[in-house]
Chain A
Amino acid sequence: MDAASILEAVDLARSFASGHQRTQALDGVSFAIRPGVVTGLIGPDGAGKTTLMRLAAGLLVPDAGSIRALGLDSTRESLAVQAALGYMPQRFGLYEDLSVQENLDLYADLQGVPHTARAERYAELMHMTGLGPFTRRLAGRLSGGMKQKLGLACTLMRAPRLLLLDEPTVGVDPVSRRELWSIVDRLVKNEGMSVLLSTAYLDEAERCQAVILLDRGKILDQGPPATISARMTGRTWAVRVAGKRPRDLQATLTGQAGVVDALVQGDHVRLVTQTADDPAQLTGLPGLQDAHIDAVPPRFEDGFIDLLHTRNDPTAAPHGVPRVDALPQRTGADDAPVIQVDGLRRRFGSFWAVDGISFDVRRGEIFGLLGANGAGKSTTFRMLCGLLPASAGSLRVAGLDLRHAASTARGRIGYMSQKFSLYGNLSVAQNLDFFASAYGLTGTRREARRDWALTEFELSPYAERLSADLSLGYKQRLAMACALMHQPEILFLDEPTSGVDPLARREFWLRINALARAGVTVLVTTHFMEEAEYCDRLAIMAAGRILAMDEPAAIKAGARTPEQPEPSMEDAFIRLVEAADAAKEAA
C-alpha cells in the first residue's frame, strides 16, 4: 500500500458485548493517513472514534483486519508502538492530586527522557502550553483547558512522530481551544509531527488538512474538508423574515421537505436545502413568503450534516419539531422575573468563586451563562438549585430560595447536570420511572410520561439497556428526559451539550426552543459559542463576575471594530475576557 502513510488500517473491525447485544463499533474500516498533516476523525457519538484510537495505540485487539502505525503492527508490536507514538485519551488520566511539575516528572520518567535533557524539554513544553506560572499547582485545581494542555504536554514529552488526540477540545472553553489548536498547528509545522485528532466540533474539521468521516463504525467519506463543503455549493442560505423571531422561523422550517438543516445564527436562520435551488423557489416553503434570502458560502458542517442525513435515510424528512406538552401549572404574573439574583457571592476558603453577580430571568426566556472553565458558572448554578449556600447576596427562584424552600417548590424545577448524573446500574426505563416517582407522579400518569419520554427521545430500543452502557448522546437524552418527566416550569441545564455531537445538539436545542415557547424558563450554562446565539439573553462571566449581559446580537455588536466589522460570538467573548484581564493587570 501507500508506503508514505504513517498510520494505515485495512478492513478493521471490532465489536463489543453490552448485555446480551453486540455492538459493531468498527466495521471494515480502511484508510491511510499522510505524514506531516493534521487529520481529523469526525463523527457523531458512538461512531467508533475512540475505538479506532485505542486500536491504533495497541490498547485493543481488532476482531478482523489490521492497523499499522509508524510501520509497526499496533496489535502485535503494541509496546514498541506505544513507545513511539503519543496518545492522549479522551479523559486524559492526569493525577489530579499531583502538581503540574510532578505530572511532568512522572511522564518524563515513563517516557525515558534523560535527566540532562529535561530542563530544556520542560521549558519548551511550558512555553508552548503557557503553563509555566502554574507548575506548582495541583492538576486537579487547573481549569479544563489547562488540564488538556497539561495532558498534551505529558503526551509530547518525547516528541512522538505520530500524535493521537481523542477529542482534546471537549469541555474546553474557546480561549483554551484556540490555544490548543495553535499548539497542534505549530507541532505539525515546526516539528513535522503527524496528528490524528478526533472531534465532535465541526468548525475544527475545517482546520484539518484531511478528514475521515466516521458514522456507526463505517467510513462515510474521506478527503480534504474543502471537497466535502464544496458539494454544498448553492444549497446554503441566510434567511430573515421581518417581524418573526429566528427561533420561531427555525421551528417552522425544520422538518420541511427539502430542508436539510435550519440553524439560528444571531438575527437570521441558516438554511441548508437538499438540492441547489434558486432563491426564488425557496419562498415556496412555509413561512418564507416574504423572506429576505441571501446565498452564503457553504461550511464543512453543512456537508457533514447532509452526509449523515443521506446515510440515515435518504428519503425520510429530518426530525420534526418535538412535541412538548402544555405546562400543568403556573405561578405568579406572567411578566414577573422568575429568577432573581442580587449581589450573589460565594467563597471557597479565601477564593471568591462567585463575586457579586446580579441578574433577572423572565418567564419563557432562555438565559445563558457563558464563561470559561472556572469562571463561576457552575457555582452560581449550584447555588440557584439550592445545592450550595450563598456566602452573601440574595437569590429567588420562583419567589423562593430553594435551599430553604419546601420540597414542593423543588418539584417545579428540572435539573440536568453536566455529568448527566443518572444511575448507571439502572436501566433506561428504571431511571425514568424513578425520577417520575421522585417527583410524585403515579399510576397511569407515570406510565404516560414514561411512554412519552421513550418515544419523544427515541429511547424505546434502549429501554432495558443499562444507562451506563449508553453512548454519551443517549445519556444526554435520558438525562433530559428525566429532568422533564414532571413538566417543570423552570429548567436548569449545566453544560447540557458538553461532548455531544452536532446532530444531538441540534435536536437538543429544538427541544429547548419548543419548551421556551410553551412558557418554560430555561437557565443554561455553556461554553459553546454557537449555542450562546440560541439564547434570548446571556451573561458572560469571568473570575466570578459578569462582564457583559445582553442579547447575543448586542453583545456581538459591542465587539465591533474597524478591523472586524462582523465579529463572531467567539471573537466577542475573547475580546471581553482579554479586556477584563487587562483591566485587572492595570489595577
Chain B
Amino acid sequence: MLIRLLALIHKEFLALLKDPRSRMVLIVPPMIQLLVFGYAATFDLKDISYALYNEDRGAASRELVAAFDGAPAFHRVATLHAEGEVAPLVDKRAVLVVLRIGPRFSADLQSRGSASVQVIVDGRNSNTALIALNYVRAIVDGFNREWIAAHGLPAPPARLETRAWFNPNLESRWFFIPGIIGMLTLVTTMLVTALTVAREREQGTFDQLLVTPLRPGEILLGKALPGFIVGMVQGTAILLIATLWFKVPLLGSLPALYAGLALFLLSGVGAGLLISSLAVTQQQGLLGAFLFMVPAVILSGFATPIANMPTVVQTITLIDPLRYFLVILRKVFLEGAGFDVLMGQFWPMAVIGGVSLILASWLFRHRLY
C-alpha cells in the first residue's frame, strides 16, 4: 500500500517537474510575483503629483505652499497661472491634486482669522482620491495648529490622540503582503491540481491507473500530496521573502501559521482536484480553475474588507478557504496570534478540504465520459 502510494507520488512529481517548461512555471513565477506584487500592492501614496494655482502673493500663502512642497508624499509638477489650465491637466491625469489659493487668501487670514483654499482631486480612482484628500487635510491641519500657536488663538477644547495598534505607521504593505502569500499559494495549488486528472483522462492514462490495484483513495492521495508538498515548500520560500526582504514583522506562533498553511493547502488541493475530476477536457479544467480562483481572491477580503460586502455576499465568502487563511496570516504576522485565537478559522478550512476531497475521489470512478 505504501509502496504503491510512494510510486504514485514519485510519478506525479516526475510528471510535474520533468518538463523544464513546467518546472519553470512552477518555481520561478511565484517568487517574482511576490517581489513585484509586494511592491505594487500598497494604498500608501508615495508620489502625489500636484499642481499649484496660487493667485495670492502674501506671506501666508507662501508658508502654506512650503508645507506642501516640504511634504515627501507631494510632488509639484506644474505651477499654473490661469483657471483654464486646471481642467486639461486633471483630465489627462497629469496631476492628481490641484491646490488653488484665491487672491484674498493672505488678506482674509490676517483680517478675519480665517480663509479657504480649494483642493481639486481626480476622483476616477475614488480610493486614491480619498487617501490624497486625507494627506492634504493632514498638512492643512498641521499648518492650522502652527498658525494658532503662533497667533495666540484659542485652542479647541478637545483634541484627538490617535494610536494604531499592530501597525503603528499604518503601512498598508504589512497588510497586503500576507494576503499575497495566500493568493500565490492558491494559484500554485490550482496549477498543480486543476488540470492533472483532466489531462490523464484526455491521454487515456487514467483508465490505466484505475485498473491497477490502486484504490481511489490512494489515487487521490497521490494526486493531492504533490500539490501539498509543492505548496508547503513554496509557502516557506514566500514566507522567508516576506519576513527577510519586506521585513513584515512575524510576531505570532509559527506552528499556528504552518497549521493554517497546511489546512489551506488541504482545502485548495481539494477544490483543485474536485474541479479536475469534474472536467473531461483540460479546457474545462482551466475554466473551472478560473471560476474558482477569481472569486476566491476577490471575495477573500484581500483588498476590500468582507465587512463592507452585502450580507448575501458575506455568506458566500464562508465557503472561500482563502478568507480564513488571510485572517490567519494577518493575525499571526501582525497581531501575534496563536492557536487559541485562530480555532474559528481552522475548522472551516478542514471541512472544505475534507468535503471536496471526498467528492473528488468519488468522482474518479463515477464520472463517466
Contacts and interface: CB of A to CB of B under 8 A. Distances in A.
Are any A and B Cβ atoms less than 8 Å apart in their complex? yes
A514 interface: no
B213 A407 contact: yes
A482 B211 CA distance: 12
A408 B207 CA distance: 17
Interface stretch (B11-19, B115-123, B243-251, B332-340): B11-19
Contacts of B204: 417, 419, 421
A386 B210 contact: yes
Contact of A437 (B3, B19, B210): B3
Given A421-B203, A421-B207, A430-B14, A408 B213 contact: yes
Contacts of B8: 434, 437-438
A426 B212 contact: no
A250 to B, nearest CB: 30
A434 B10 contact: yes
Interface in A338-361: none
B243 to A, nearest CB: 36
Nearest to B8: A438
Nearest to A415: B211
Interface in B160-214: 203-205, 207-214
Contacts of A439: 4, 212-213
A279 B19 CA distance: 58
B368 interface: yes
Nearest to A413: B211
B313 interface: no
A400 to B, nearest CB: 13
Contact of A434 (B7, B203, B210, B215): B7
Nearest to B11: A434
A388 B368 contact: yes
B6 interface: yes
Contacts of A434: 7-8, 10-11
B205 A423 contact: yes
Instruction: Please tell me the size bucket of the interface on A.
Output: 20 to 34
Contacts of A386: 210-211
A426 B15 contact: yes
Interface string A425-438: 11000100111111
Contact of A442 (B3, B14, B18, B212): B3
A140 interface: no
B211 A385 contact: yes
B19 A423 contact: no
A396 B240 CA distance: 57
Contacts of B3: 437, 440-442
Contact of B14 (A402, A413, A426, A435): A426
A387 interface: yes
A411 B215 CA distance: 11
A424 to B, nearest CB: 7
Given A417-B204, A419-B204, A422-B205, A438 B15 contact: no
A258 B215 CA distance: 51
A437 B18 contact: no
Interface string A384-424: 01111000000000000011000110110101010101111
B365 to A, nearest CB: 8
B7 A433 contact: yes
Nearest to B209: A438
- Interface SS of chain A: helix, strand, loop or mixed? loop
Interface string B8-52: 101100110011000000000000000000000000000000000
Contact of B212 (A410, A417, A492): A410
A408 B213 CA distance: 6
Interface in B206-251: 207-215
A423 B213 contact: no
A65 to B, nearest CB: 34
Nearest to A411: B213
A411 B208 CA distance: 12
A425 B7 contact: no
B4 A437 contact: yes
A387 B10 contact: no
A173 B39 CA distance: 63
Given A422-B205, A423-B11, A438-B8, A387 B212 contact: no
A417 B209 contact: no
B366 to A, nearest CB: 8
A362 B319 CA distance: 54
A211 B237 CA distance: 63
Nearest to B19: A425
Contacts of B4: 437-440
A434 B7 CA distance: 6
B174 to A, nearest CB: 42
Contacts of B208: 415, 417, 421-422, 482
B369 to A, nearest CB: 10
A141 to B, nearest CB: 15
**Nearest 7 CB-CB pairings of A with B:** A437-B7, A421-B204, A407-B213, A411-B213, A419-B204, A415-B211, A438-B212
27 contacts: A382-B207, A386-B211, A407-B214, A410-B211, A413-B211, A417-B208, A422-B208, A423-B14, A424-B203, A425-B19, A426-B11, A426-B14, A433-B7, A434-B7, A434-B8, A434-B10, A435-B212, A436-B7, A437-B4, A437-B6, A438-B4, A438-B7, A438-B209, A438-B213, A440-B1, A440-B4, A442-B3
Given A415-B208, A421-B207, A436-B7, 10 more contacts: A387-B210, A387-B211, A407-B213, A408-B213, A423-B14, A435-B212, A437-B8, A438-B214, A441-B3, A442-B3
Interface of B: 1, 3-4, 6-8, 10-11, 14-15, 18-19, 203-205, 207-215, 365, 368
